[in-house]
Amino acid sequence: MKVAVILPAAGLGTRMRPAAPEGTGTSRKQFMLLEGAPILLHTIRKFLRSPLVTEIVVALRREDIEWVEEMLKREQPSKSVRLVEGGESRQQSVENALAEVSADTDLVAVHDAVRPFIDEQTLRNVIEEAARTGAAIVGIVPVDTVKQVHRTRVRATLPRERLILTQTPQVFRLELLKEAFEKARRDGFVGTDESSLVERLDKVEVAVVPGTDYNIKITKPADMELARFILSRQSAEQKAS
Ligand code: C5P
């Protein structure tokens, strides 16, 4: 089975206020340094190591393609890692990357470049589920009660037991994901994840597999402190094993 991973990494990271990491000339969150390596590289390494993944396509801003290419050469990747230019929205970035996926791909796993702590077991679970059903995503149950609001006023309390917070990877059969993107483009629909595009097709039910609290999306400044902590714990575990 051929599994391609798409990593959208072409965002501006406007919710972060980071110091520019050395050497990259950029301050965007996907390139902030964790133990000396940009977050994106930590994420790419997870998929390079996974025996489940056959190829990786990364969507980048045009000005980042060259130095990321240089950085990847030094990694001597064991499988194909292609770099494509992203777009103005995350959806456009993924669509551009999707066009570059090998035609004989069975499943496409889309994963936020800023989630470097994805573990092999979760990846395996979501891929196996998508192989069975056509579409599967990773999610965790919320611990907070979620409310719908209008400005500063509560409009509704959502039943927590029926909610999940979506993480990535989100995995789909190639043809299904392509069809979902085509329909979204036709309808002018822009979603914040790939699942919402596939849901609109009304063709398959999207399955949910449990994620972990460690699979964080590095979005806000405080997330970097948490990321350093998770990384040091993981490094200690690796040394011990
Ligand atoms: O913006 P958001 O937090 O949803 O970003 C999630 C991922 O999508 C990040 O890795 C970001 O770099 C990527 N992205 C992208 N192209 C955009 C906007 C976001 O690849 N235009």
Indicate whether 16 pLDDT > 70. Answer: no
Report whether residue 8 contacts ligand 1, using a CB cutoff of 6 Å. Answer: yes
Confidence of residue 25 (pLDDT cuts 50, 70, 90): very low
pLDDT given at position 240: 86
- What's the pLDDT band for 59 if we cut at 50, 70, 90? very high
pLDDT band at 95 (very low <50, low <70, confident <90, very high): very high
**Does 194 sit in the ligand 1 pocket, CB within 6 Å?**
no
User: Residue 38 and residue 180: Cα distance in Å, rounded?
Assistant: 32
Architecture of the domain whose range is 3-231: Alpha-Beta Complex (3.90)
Express as a percent the part of the chain with pLDDT over 70: 94
pLDDT (tens digit per residue) in 150-180: 999 999 999 999 999 999 999 999 999 999 9
Measure 10 CA to ligand 1 centroid, in angstroms.
6
Instruction: State if residue 116 touches ligand 1 by the CB under 6 angstroms criterion.
Output: no
- Local confidence band at 235 (pLDDT 50, 70, 90 cut-offs): confident
Residues 159 and 174: their CA atoms lie apart, in Å, by: 33
User: Do 139 and 241 touch, CB atoms closer than 8 A?
Assistant: no
Q: Which residues contact 46 (CB under 8 A, 6 or more apart)?
A: 116, 118, 120, 123
Q: pLDDT for 104-155, tens place per residue?
A: 999 999 999 999 999 999 999 999 999 999 999 999 999 999 999 999 999 9
pLDDT on residue 14: 60
What residues have CB less than 8 Å from 48, skipping those under 6 apart?
Answer: 56, 75, 77, 78, 79, 81
